[in-house]
Chains A and B, each alone.
Chain A
Amino acid sequence: MAANPMTQFEVYRIGPEIKINQIDISFTNASLFMIISALSILLIFNLGSSKKNIIPTKIQLLAELSYSFISKMISDTAGNKGKPYFNLIFSLFMFVLFCNMFGMLPYSFTVTSHIIVTFFLAALIFIGVTVIGFIKHGFGYLKLFVPSGVPLVLLPLIVVIEIISYLSRPISLSVRLFANMMAGHTMMKVFGSFVISLGIVGGWLPLSFSVALTGLEILVAFLQAYVFAILTCIYLNDALNLHH
């Protein structure tokens, strides 16, 4: 095999080593793509919001459609109470989406294929949602772990399961995104190396697979960003409207 399919996930330093108190915070290729993603989002949405046409231009339409898309998603899952968290969910969705999409460019780096990044975002959401829940409901938030209508005998078991399910939220949220991105990119790399190793005669089949996988991966990139955002909305809904 020509190359290890995992080398695409390697992080390397760009520029000098930066250390604060023995902690390495050097600028890496991961940092580069985070900054690129953030700046392109800002650029696109700044262009899309600077004009105030009644009939929108294409880029304005793009910005406004994404705005109403996220807005509708929040009001569908978390209701009107979710409105104040719109900015955060919008930023999250766009950041994840752009990181995923930039990862689709050849020779680029996929920020979201690193567990530490997705786990940090998921932990941020988890802690935030838990704090919001306790602020809104006080200790009543703990009722989330006690579903109504459960026989008394089963209650201890159910409570334990609910607590585990609640605590596994950041893990499932982060691993879902990370594993999807990593698996997809690894597959593409593997098929790509098949094309090289099988040459001009046998390489066409893996090449066509690679083309199909590219389409699939673009879909997955969008879908995972959407799932990430909508799960955030659902967790937020649990914290805002105590249903149990």
Chain B
Amino acid sequence: MRQETVTTESTLKTAFSDYWSRIKVGDIGSLPAVLGLVVLCIVFSIMQSSFLTPGNFANLLTQAAAVIVIAMGLIFVLLLGEIDLSAGYASGVCAAVLVISITNHNFPWWVALVISVIVGIALGLFIGWLVAFLGIPSFVVTLATFLAFQGLLLLLAGEGGTIQLQDKTILAIENSNLKPLVSWAFFLVCAVLYVISGVRRMAARRKVGLKVELMKLWVLKTVGLLALCAGAVYALNLERSNNPQLVSLKGTPYVVPLILLILVIGTFVLNRTAFGRHLYAVGGNAEAARRAGINVKWVRISAFIICSGMSAIAGLIFASRQNSVSPTTGGSSTLLYAVGAAVIGGTSLFGGKGKMRDAILGGLVVAVIDNGMGLLGYAAGIKYIVTGLVLLVSASVDAISRKGSGS
């Protein structure tokens, strides 16, 4: 502790120089995603006035939601240095199961949801078992299941068929909003909980005499984050209907609290539980993890289970957004956007590095490109090329920073 007291007296200046030296050795985290997001938003706002409107902002969130949730699940798999190429179609299959259970079999929405999540878990168990016990590279396994799930979805939906969904609760997730007052109340509750958990963590560390994060820096970060969120709630509470007399459209879409809930649970699991720690360990050095007595196979299987289980939640969002399920649900660019979101957000493809929030930051970058270029009237081809290039840039940043840190 003697030496520690010297460093506890750090100032904002030393904190920033620490951060800067971390960036220099390649530990850049989410910085590129944040910068990219800011730059993209500025560029699109200048080029197209309809980009920076409350309506488009809400639209952006609901557009990005499903991809973000798939990316959140993928992060568990990417942390191990594995990949799940079939997560997109897994969400399609789960969406089909959900919609069929409701529309064709008249199950209540929550029973249907439980069934679809169980199907997702079963798909993940199957993939994880093949990877962990048979030792087939996950790339190959999930390439096979990618094709197989696509076929399964086609069979479930029927040739060229679209199954409609009429359940109000499920449709509400992407199409209805928390009332403005409820939105503010929700924000306040989240903010208070966030501050309390931060203060309690610091108090616990100070009590036993451990080095505590610089108070000024913490306050700065917390105020910044909360201000940003408050701004978002304010924007979402603005009227975004073209004809407010006829139908009013304002408030936070229900999907936002859903994603926040997944973010909180996922972050808790990764940072605060032994299981999360073991995920990072297996991704960093599987042999070291095995020698430390960690059940590496079980960790691998559970990562794939979580990934496919999250795909089922994404399937729910897809079904809600499309009011139906079709053979293309969760297909085409979904998976690539999700992988792109995770990597752009700062999750490493080499394993061992990544956070839940990466999915949200990266998912927003992908959605902003998609949305902004769409508004500017670019063809789909150009959008794909630009998104591909952004993914390539992020992957290069990942690879180069890995070299920089010498690991």
Decide if A and B are genuine partners. no
Residues on A facing B (Cβ under 8 Å)? none
Residues on B facing A (Cβ under 8 Å)? none
